Amino acid sequence: MDKKEVLRKITDVSNYLYEKGLVPGKSGNVSFRFVANGSENVAITPSGVSLKDVDEKNIVIVDMDGNKLNESLENDKKASSEVFMHINVYKKNDEVNGIVHTHSPVATGFAFAEEKIKRLEGFGTIKNPFIPFVEYATPGTMELAENVSKALENEDVVLLKRHGIVACGENLDDAFLLAEFVEETAKIQLVSSLLSRGQTQAHLKRSI
Instruction: List the catalytic residues.
Output: 82
CB atoms within 10 A of CB 56: 15
Dihedral pair phi/psi, residue 74, rounded to 5°:
-80, -30
Q: Is 63 helix (H, G, I), strand (E, B) or coil?
A: strand
CA distances from 163 to 17, 52, 108, 154, 180 (A): 17, 20, 7, 21, 16
Q: Is 169 helix (H, G, I), strand (E, B) or coil?
A: strand
CA 111/CA 1 separation, integer angstroms: 34
